[in-house]
Amino acid sequence: MAYRKSCPLVLALLSVIFYSSVVLAVPVSYNVVSFGAKADGETDSTEAFSTAWSQACASENPADVYVPAGRFYLRQVVFNGPCNNNAIRIRIDGTLVAPSNYMVPGNGGNWLLFSAVNGVTISGGILDGQGTGLWACKNSGKNCPDGASTLQFSNSKNIVVSGLTSINSQMFHIVVNGCNNVKMQGVKIAASGDSPNTDGIHVQLSSGVTILNSKIGTGDDCISIGPGATNLWIENVACGPGHGISIGSLGKDQIEAGVQNITVTTAIFTGTQNGVRIKSWGRPSNGFARSILFQHVLMVNVQNPIVIDQNYCPSNEGCPGQVSGVKISDVTYQDIHGTSATQVAVNLDCSSMYPCSGIRLQDVKLTYNNNQAAQASCNHAAGTTSGFVQPAGCL
């Protein structure tokens, strides 16, 4: 009787084990705490995170790296691929804390770098770049290191970042460089409006990047789009404080990959320096920006809501007397409304050698100073207007 009862039970247990390990492929989970990480905000947990990553990366099956609640102090961490599986999830309930001494994460590098990985998802978590010391140094005009970007994905593909918060980065918050198929959603970025070089998300040399439902307030561009960005989709983003969403600076180099097929749809800019901007250095280049759509945008007290600046020449070094070689074409501004903080709400200042072409303004209404019509200024820009366009008379 006892034997006949336990036999089905054993079979049931065996089948559960079989199904969970083979059929469902439940991910193996590596908790950073079991590798020695401490949630006290002080103990150096760099080794523990590296080891947890190495094990997840070596796993033949999908793997989780789990970071529980609490503050984990990390120096630079490189999450290197390629891995033996292409389904690694990093689930973060806690906060990763950078060294407050800005000499530690180094100069111009990255604090957290994912390199040559395929199929990595990061969900949740707060990244605290502890940048305030470096900003103070830079703002005082002293000679300071560049600082580190908080999180970079380099030469990677099939990346998802979901529900991540990045605060007080030393330099750029998130960088996507040389990647394919990257989806970011529900990302929050926060740094002071006067923090230098703290771009929110920077995308370059990458294709198929999507940024959705994100809120970015920082001291530089909310999103900056560099050379070689193609098939980029940005939807439902709130920006401010910050310098807006910027394509560029382009054309710094003579030989440079172009920017193509960029969509920004449903965005709100609040009190920012720029709204939607395309910017290139005033110097020779074979670069270009084409097939760009800015759509359904609300501007709230934005200094330069719509701007193309092809005469960018910071500190007047290496460009005076030269003109931009970057060719800008097929740029549509559609359903752009709101208020400008300055009188010139539309400023298209294109290259005298390669005028902008195919600029389309459709249903644009920007006002200035209690509902007065704002002004538009165009140099070397050609295109069409349709629908109600105010300020008009520029193209």
In whole angstroms, how close is the CB of 211 to ligand NAG at the nearest point?
Answer: 10
Closer residue to ligand NAG in complex, CB, 100/233:
233
* 345 vs 368: CA distance, rounded Å: 8
Closer residue to ligand NAG in complex, CB, 233/358:
233
Which entry of 243, 296, 337, 380 is annotated as an active-site residue? Answer: 243
Q: How many residues bind ligand NAG (CB under 6 A)?
A: 5
H helix runs in 19-141, sequence order: 46-58, 132-139
Site for ligand NAG in 4-33 (CB under 6 A): none
Closer residue to ligand NAG in complex, CB, 129/228:
228
Is residue 332 within 8 Å of residue 292, measured between CB atoms?
A: yes
Spell out where 24-117 has E strands. Answer: 28-31, 40-44, 63-67, 71-73, 77-80, 88-97, 110-115
Q: Which two tokens stand for residue 368?
A: 């200035």
In what helix (H) or strand (E) does residue 12 lie, and over which residues does it extend? helix 2-18
Closer residue to ligand NAG in complex, CB, 72/153:
153
Closer residue to ligand NAG in complex, CB, 289/341:
289
Sign of CA dihedral 378, 383, 384, 389: negative
In whole angstroms, how close is the CB of 177 to ligand NAG at the nearest point?
Answer: 18
Q: Of 144, 147, 77, which Cα lies nearest the Cα of 113?
A: 77
In whole angstroms, how close is the CB of 261 to ligand NAG at the nearest point?
Answer: 4
| Beta carbons within 8 Å of 68's beta carbon, 6+ residues apart | 31, 32, 33, 39, 93, 94
Is residue 158 a contact point for ligand NAG (CB under 6 A)?
no
What is the DSSP secondary-structure string of 204-249? Answer: ES-EEEEEEEEEEE-SS-SEEE-TT-EEEEEEEEEE-SSS-EEEEE
Closer residue to ligand NAG in complex, CB, 75/233:
233
Closer residue to ligand NAG in complex, CB, 208/271:
208
Query: What are 190's strand-pairing partners?
Result: 167, 217
Site for ligand NAG in 183-242 (CB under 6 A): 231-233
Closer residue to ligand NAG in complex, CB, 213/231:
231
243 part of the active site = yes
Residue identified by tokens 């910050």 is 242
Query: What are 239's strand-pairing partners?
Result: 216, 269
In whole angstroms, how close is the CB of 125 to ligand NAG at the nearest point?
Answer: 26
Q: Which two tokens stand for residue 13?
A: 């247990």
Single residue of 31, 162, 263, 286 touching ligand NAG by CB under 6 A: 263
Spell out where 251-287 has E strands. Answer: 259-270, 274-281
In what helix (H) or strand (E) does residue 18 lie, and over which residues does it extend? helix 2-18
* 223 vs 211: CA distance, rounded Å: 10
In whole angstroms, how close is the CB of 289 to ligand NAG at the nearest point?
Answer: 14
Single residue of 261, 322, 329, 379 touching ligand NAG by CB under 6 A: 261
Q: b/e string for 291-312 if b means 16 or more Cβ within 10 A?
A: bbbbbbbbbbbbbbbbbbbbbb
Active site (catalytic) residues: 243
* Residues of the shown chain interacting with ligand NAG in the complex, contacts defined by CB under 6 A: 231-233, 261, 263
